[in-house]
Structures are given as structure tokens and as C-alpha cells.
Amino acid sequence: RLFFEISDEDLAAVEMMYVQATHDVVDARYPCSEQDSITLAALQVQEAMGDHPGGDCDYISGELRKYLAEKYLEDRDDSELEEQVLKLYEKLTGYTPQE
């Protein structure tokens, strides 16, 4: 990996940096607190799925390993973490993928 500045207008480069950064957090290469990881997971769901549909939402049911580092999933109830991610995701209604 190289470190260099990218222009905000270069959408392909911004997307590539986003994908690399989220992968590094989920893969535990980049240290991140549990709460920051939950926030990032909610942002990833918003980016991928758009606004929360309202009511019950099962977008991430059984899919937490795509969004959170394994260290936060050990000895934890997945439903508790899913609830935290979905609660934040619901608050992100109105955000565009670029935001």
C-alpha cells in the first residue's frame, strides 16, 4: 500500500480507499474501538442498502462478520450487536452513499 492524497472528485479512488479502509478494520489490521466498529458497520449498511426501510430490518442478520472484526464477535450474542448496528443505521436515514 502506498500513502498518497486523492482528490475528492476522483470517485473511483475514493471508493477504492473506502473499500480498503473498511476491509482493514474488519480484518483487524487497523485498530478500532468496538463502538467505532459498530458505527462503521452502520455506515457500511447505509452505503450498501440505502435508507433504513422502517420497521423490522434483517439486512445484517447472520452477516456481522462482513461488518465487524472477529474480536468483537467472540463470546458475544450476535443479536445484541445486530441491534446496535441497526439502531445506528436507522439514524443515518437521508445520508447519500457519498456522504
- Give 26's pLDDT tier (boundaries 50, 70, 90): very high
pTM of the predicted model, to two decimals?
A: 0.84
Q: What is the DSSP letter of 65?
A: G
Query: Alpha helix locations (H) across the chain?
Result: 11-26, 34-49, 70-73, 78-91
- Weakest-pLDDT range from 6-15, 29-38, 80-89: 6-15
Residues 7-27: what's their mean pLDDT? Answer: 90
pLDDT higher than 70, residue 3: no
In terms of Cα–Cα distance, which of 38, 60, 47 is closest to 19?
A: 47
Fold classified for 11-91: Acyl-CoA Binding Protein (1.20.80)
In terms of Cα–Cα distance, which of 26, 45, 24, 46 is closest to 34?
A: 26
pLDDT digits (tens, 9 = 90+) for 65-81: 999 999 999 888 888 99
At 10, list the grid cell: 476522483
How confident is the model at residue 2, as a pLDDT?
Answer: 59
pLDDT higher than 60, residue 54: yes
